[in-house]
Structure 1
């Protein structure tokens, strides 16, 4: 029987060790969030340094007269030089689009959260956006001063620390210093306001709500600034024209062209509703209304040629060449890639070998293969292609030296210029581009074909479907995501085509093969006009972005994901 000693002292409970704030639940959440952001910091810095900052800096350069160094502020001058008065229309609608998107964000915010205390977060959101804009203003006020250091030190004695001293002196320039102090105060005020309002409005998604309101406030500010920039540029242009005794109908062009495109968009919406109608009377009414809007929009858009009258004709010509280049390469390379992939997907011998052979042109350096094509399509009679054509009884061609349109060569010089088609030199470059990218498209299509279940093919064969029916109703719909992806990157890539065009072009045919990218590079290289080159690059970027959005809207609805 166990006994206990009555003389043993009782054990006293030990005091709990002191807990720090980091051991609490909230502290652990903060530590986890900070750790996650630290892991994301290198990626964020890379995205900012090599993605966001170059775009912002290029836009800043496009607003200035900039050769080797910034010279003077031009506003929209570089854009009007490239697109004429149509640039005002584009920037006007860019501002309107930003304001509309901000309104959409606010309406979405209201539908998700209603009217409540969460809307008070609009105060720190506006302060944060204001701080961001003031910081951006300070940065771009400092940037020209820093870039002007080589001019300021010219003629001075080269001593150690000269550049560093000038760099620190740039921060002490009166205007830069005042802008920096104002930006610093705004950042502090925005930070304090954010902390106070987030502690006052405690909810699970208060931080997300603040970010949403900041995004809406940013687009409102961007829209207002772009409208101010556009209105200032239009007023300055009109005043300059009045000083010369002429009147410019810029505002009327902006209003008429904007109204025309609005009517065309409304006609498109009505037509989509019309084709969805099952009643013939409703279809006829909606179709007639769409046709009337389309005619009215066309009459208003007729102001477009006048707005483009002062545009850079060479730039517009390069846009036409780029469009022909896209039309002549993208459909052909996609169709050929799909056909080869479908053949290689069958049970044939040597599939792996053929896959490697077709993929080789894509992985071979463009410079090497472009030079090979340049030799094959030489204008000499002894070139391989001319010898082959001579064997067929066709006279030798100038190929890369021929600026004449291919249809004009076939049907004679009596056809209209707009029916002449791409030059023979551009056709050769198109063939090279198609040859290069067929292998890539084939490999991607093969991957898409491999994701289609074989049970679907077996069921179709049991039902008696022919090979064409299987391809038309099973393969093509299930390959639509792959086709959409390839067409998207192909259009973007061909609009930016540069390497093969630059290598294979000759001065004799340069005017008929120079795409927009080549013309931009030539402008910057020959004239060192960085401001104008940046403006043209942004115009090309806007066209690619608009086509991408249009393609997503048009083809995205037809993509079948299974």
Structure 2
């Protein structure tokens, strides 16, 4: 509609036609972009905003990073320091790439990019200054009066008049006008075909610099206040020492990884041994420096720490098993001549069956009653009955009947039952996806290998696994993300006697928000979980995606 309303002679020239195509393309992708922003990006930004406040139904006192310090101790400051540093370094890399790409006229992009980024930052400033007053509308509405639509609308528009909001709005309006004028002038002066893309990249780069600088300033101010409070109380708080040691250790580990990748590319054994030993020495040095890390998390929330530990055990105990079994079943079923469709339906049924229904079945099977199916099977092998879902004791302690270090304890028996249930639920989904991947492998590869005398194992090892690596990468990625977000399985199967053994981060987060009504602290923990999943996904993409073979 907007494009059709413009005069047609605006688009008669070549540049006009290009502009018309760009406007049409942006209008087509606008709905998708709006959905991604509303349901993807905005909730993350809003959660971070809530985490900076004491929030119980309505925004209250501004706390800064206090909720993160409550959850992670000193490591919260360390995490934000390195995050801000990473954002600034990434912005510098983007700017360097742009300078190399744009040989001349770079200065024409700088000023519009700075103003556009400043306008975006001013919008964020105005929006989040206005937001607390808008959310506080129900509490500001006078009691004893009929709460109708007109009263709500009046109070809503009064939110725009509170202190600081009008001034922020005027600054935003000035920034938008200046950004539009300078951007149009830049696009008129520069005649390169990619000038719009370069201007957008400059804007994003400057916006990253603004965001990184703001986060660094916030972190340093919070650190100074915390250190000052500790000194006033006669205590020492070596945050900077921890940052230096952990930073140096991380750098050594990064260099060790780079050296190791060079070692595996060496053709001669002598060079491989040399570079391999160098990588091991660097890794050992990085580890010795990061050994200082545990001292920075001594003040971490014990419940949050236990939740992360349970989550990690759940990931390790479910993802490899369900992927391995799914691949094995898919391989066997793919080479079965009869009943493929029927077996696909049978394997997929657990995935589409409601969790509540299958939870009742598994709860009955693993009941603590002596005559439950699981205990009956144990008795058949001469093993004592177990409490299963009511047993928080780690399985290795039950087996060896002695106390073990935490790393050797393993998951609690109640968590093992939930792992079995989760594997049974998702193995069918993995099997069906693996079968689809097997169907995309050209049969000519197998025929040529058989002619050369390849065995069944050689076919599987050198043809099936490499060509199935994109499917394996996809399934492992979504499985790890899904298990870190695990909530439904735990919530349905958890029992009061074994809460600590099965409560993941998601469960603890939900209880903090729903039971204690600590929305700010809950949002801080949610943001920590989001950052953890994001980092794991990033490293998984960087490391495993290089080993994916797309044929």
TM range (shorter): over 0.9
Partner of 2:263: 274
Q: Secondary structure at the match of 2:515?
A: helix
Instruction: Kindly report which structure 2 residues correspond to 1:107-186, keeping only aligned pairs within 5 A, or say none.
Output: 107-114=96-103, 116-158=104-146, 160=148, 161-186=150-175
1:426 and 1:512 in contact (8 A); partners too: yes
> What CA distance in whole angstroms lies between the structure 2 residues aligned with 1:287 and 1:446?
38
Partner of 1:424: 413
* Bigger Cα displacement from structure 2, 243-252 vs 443-452: 243-252
Of the three residues 42, 45, 50, the one matched with 1:56 is 45
Partner of 1:312: 301
Deviation of 1:543 after TM superposition, in Å, equals 1.3
> What CA distance in whole angstroms lies between the structure 2 residues aligned with 1:453 and 1:284?
39
1:118 and 1:206 in contact (8 A); partners too: no
Deviation of 1:404 after TM superposition, in Å, equals 0.7
- Offset from partner CA, 1:195-247 (integer Å, 9 cap, x none): 11111112211101101111211111111111101101101101112222223
Deviation of 1:154 after TM superposition, in Å, equals 4.5
Q: Secondary structure at the match of 2:61?
A: strand
1:261 and 1:297 in contact (8 A); partners too: yes
Partner of 1:403: 392
> What CA distance in whole angstroms lies between the structure 2 residues aligned with 1:23 and 1:315?
62
> What CA distance in whole angstroms lies between the structure 2 residues aligned with 1:278 and 1:144?
63
> What CA distance in whole angstroms lies between the structure 2 residues aligned with 1:294 and 1:497?
32
Partner of 1:503: 492
> What CA distance in whole angstroms lies between the structure 1 residues aligned with 2:449 and 2:289?
52
Deviation of 1:274 after TM superposition, in Å, equals 3.0
> What CA distance in whole angstroms lies between the structure 2 residues aligned with 1:361 and 1:387?
24
> What CA distance in whole angstroms lies between the structure 2 residues aligned with 1:351 and 1:20?
61
1:128 and 1:190 in contact (8 A); partners too: yes
- Offset from partner CA, 1:245-277 (integer Å, 9 cap, x none): 223111111112111211222222223223333
> What CA distance in whole angstroms lies between the structure 2 residues aligned with 1:56 and 1:153?
27
* Bigger Cα displacement from structure 2, 156-165 vs 252-261: 156-165
Instruction: Kindly report which structure 2 residues correspond to 1:299-378, keeping only aligned pairs within 5 A, or say none.
Output: 299-378=288-367
2:396 and 2:409 in contact (8 A); partners too: yes
- Offset from partner CA, 1:492-518 (integer Å, 9 cap, x none): 111111101100000100100111111
* Bigger Cα displacement from structure 2, 379-388 vs 443-452: 379-388
Instruction: Kindly report which structure 2 residues correspond to 1:431-510, keeping only aligned pairs within 5 A, or say none.
Output: 431-510=420-499
Distance 1:288 1:454, change over 3 A: closer
The answer on 1:250 being equivalent to 2:221 is no
Deviation of 1:449 after TM superposition, in Å, equals 0.6
> What CA distance in whole angstroms lies between the structure 2 residues aligned with 1:386 and 1:140?
57
Partner of 1:259: 248
Deviation of 1:293 after TM superposition, in Å, equals 2.8
> What CA distance in whole angstroms lies between the structure 2 residues aligned with 1:349 and 1:19?
63
Listed as ranges, the gaps of 5+ residues in structure 1 are 1-17
> What CA distance in whole angstroms lies between the structure 1 residues aligned with 2:333 and 2:109?
59
Instruction: Kindly report which structure 2 residues correspond to 1:221-236, keeping only aligned pairs within 5 A, or say none.
Output: 221-236=210-225
Normalised by the size of structure 2, how large is the TM-score?
0.95
CA RMSD between the two structures:
1.8
> What CA distance in whole angstroms lies between the structure 2 residues aligned with 1:174 and 1:515?
42
Of the three residues 529, 539, 543, the one matched with 1:540 is 529
Q: Which has the larger radius of gyration?
A: 1
Q: Secondary structure at the match of 1:65?
A: strand
> What CA distance in whole angstroms lies between the structure 1 residues aligned with 2:29 and 2:168?
30
Of the three residues 521, 546, 551, the one matched with 1:557 is 546
2:99 and 2:106 in contact (8 A); partners too: no
> What CA distance in whole angstroms lies between the structure 1 residues aligned with 2:8 and 2:369?
87
1:118 and 1:209 in contact (8 A); partners too: no
> What CA distance in whole angstroms lies between the structure 1 residues aligned with 2:147 and 2:415?
55
Deviation of 1:288 after TM superposition, in Å, equals 4.4
Deviation of 1:395 after TM superposition, in Å, equals 2.7
Of the three residues 490, 498, 514, the one matched with 1:525 is 514
Partner of 1:387: 376
What is the aligned residue count?
544
> What CA distance in whole angstroms lies between the structure 2 residues aligned with 1:405 and 1:201?
67
